[in-house]
Amino acid sequence: MGTVVVPPETNSDSYPHGYPSDLGLKVLHKIPHDVSKEEFEEWVRLTGEHLDALAKGLTMNAHDGDPVLTDKQPVLDGFIDIDWIYEIDLDNLVFHIDSQPIFHLDNMPPDKVFLKAISFDHFGHRAYHKYTPIQFCYDWHAPPPPPPPPPPLDSLIAYNSCPNRSSTSSIYELLDIPMALSSLERARTALVGLLVTQCMATISVGHYIRVLESVPDHDHISQSMLKLALLLVKFAVGPPIPSLLFIPNETWDFIWIREDDKEGTIYGIAFSIFHCAIVQLDKDKRGTSISHTPVLQFLPSFYARKISTPGIEALSRLGCQSSGVECLAAFSEAYIHPHPHIIHKESLVTRSVIAKVPVEVWMNIGYFILLPFGLVNLASISPQAMSAAANLACYPWVKGYILVDVVGPILPIPATTKYTRQDEIRDNHYQLGCATFTALNGGNHMNMLGFQPGNTSPWRDALCPNGASMEIVVPLMDFGVLPRVFLVTVLGLYA
């Protein structure tokens, strides 16, 4: 049907009328209030017909000041000196502000509520205030799709023949690991949380995640969101280096990375960006057993006070189960050679002094390595050196620092109240996900504060008075190598 885009206005001392208190209220007053459902639907129909007629006389290249015909939602970045955009979305019955869905079009708030509700979420995106009455807040979640047809009978028979350990298992039960996180798991989970925060604070990602709520089925998920899904999985379970390169497979909905039929344990990940579940398949001579976690929240709420979620922790702990040798192979493939290239000839080192050097010594040498591909060279010296390199390869590497643990608990950001200033709410994402790591660099132990790009707030200097901090930046199109034992299924989201 279409969308009414009110011409954006420049905000300055001379042109204050673009603000919600002026232009925003004028747009609000164009929408029918206190009318019957039939009257509102008639207004939507007539407005849509008017837009269709108007569109016939417009071109894609209008002159300045003329109405613009476009097939893309306008964003603030596309206009110079523009601070506010108001949209009346007739297709979804949503009122957008600055390209973000805010209100129910068929239940718009009164003037005072309208002005108080225009705020930010905790990731700096335009959003309704956390305390906005729920009846006015948009809700465009797509209904669940119809049930799929039943699978073939032989598939059901094969599945039912597999012993299932339990209906669901916790992640530590599934992986048979302690309930408490190890130092490696703490460092990796905190880094994944920091990277997820950076993704969610990105304007385009923050916008498309909300759009994803309205996607009716898997076929309507955009390629950019499928890439984001694989990127987030890579953050959690791939080699713990944000900058590794990865050329995505052309098939996005189902990727089976392990092709052999050997005995052992393999894992699968069902992932929708919002939620995830992990499946474990144990295969031995007696057959295959299946167990899995419940559906776990992966992405935090846009109003979260802490970034950690059960899904982030579960995938991070799963990633820690990859052997260091797998990580070394990924480093070698990405940095040195198109194929894994880690060798050490036993005949050359068996009778030498190198063969007698214990793993602990090689570990201490490894602490002085500044780049991950240096571990590949270390691993090529001897079996003991490979063991040391494999141990170090499991830890996150960022800008030459090896993150070995997290210092203290990661505290939540202050609670948002009705009286919290707008700029404080907008800048919350600079604190979300930030953690102080115990790190190694050139053999030196230190505490490092990991923070969001652009953060210059006073609390950062208070947490890290000696300037030992690192800005962790992850290119959103920089996909890393996934381990060779994981199944990734990108799913749609259903309410």
pLDDT in tens, 234-244: 878 887 765 55
What are the φ and ψ backbone dihedral angles of 14, each rounded to 5 degrees?
-85, -25
Tokens coding 287: 């057959």
**pLDDT higher than threshold 90 for residue 31:** yes
Distance, in Å, from the CA atom of 274 to the CA atom of 276, rounded to the nearest integer, reads 7
Q: How is 90-152 classified by DSSP, letter by letter?
A: TTTTEEEETTEEEEEGGGPPPHHHHHHHEEE-TTS-EEE-TTS-GGGB---PPPPPPPPPPPP
Distance, in Å, from the CA atom of 272 to the CA atom of 249, rounded to the nearest integer, reads 17
Integer-rounded Cα Rg, in Å, for the chain is 26
Confidence at 452, pLDDT banded by 50, 70, 90: low
3-class state of residue 292 by DSSP: strand
- Kindly state the average pLDDT of the residues 101-114: 96
Alpha helices, DSSP H, located in 219-343: 223-237, 310-319, 324-331
- The pTM of this model reads 0.81
The percent of residues in the chain predicted with pLDDT above 70, rounded, is 73
- pLDDT tens digits along 313-329: 999 999 998 888 888 88
- Kindly state the average pLDDT of the residues 439-468: 60
pLDDT of residue 68: 64
Task: Name the residue with higher pLDDT: 263 or 397.
Answer: 397
**pLDDT higher than threshold 50 for residue 255:** no
- pLDDT tens digits along 479-491: 233 332 333 333 3
- Kindly state the average pLDDT of the residues 415-441: 86
- pLDDT tens digits along 4-17: 555 444 433 334 46
- pLDDT tens digits along 65-83: 566 667 777 776 644 567 8
- pLDDT tens digits along 152-162: 777 667 667 76
Q: Which of 303, 305, 307, 299 is nearest to 127 (CA)?
A: 303
Distance, in Å, from the CA atom of 88 to the CA atom of 66, rounded to the nearest integer, reads 18
Least confident of 40-49, 84-93, 149-158: 149-158
- pLDDT tens digits along 16-27: 468 999 999 999
Cβ contact 327:394 at 8 Å: yes
Distance, in Å, from the CA atom of 128 to the CA atom of 104, rounded to the nearest integer, reads 11
The percent of residues in the chain predicted with pLDDT above 90, rounded, is 29
- pLDDT tens digits along 183-198: 999 999 998 888 888 8
**pLDDT higher than threshold 70 for residue 448:** yes
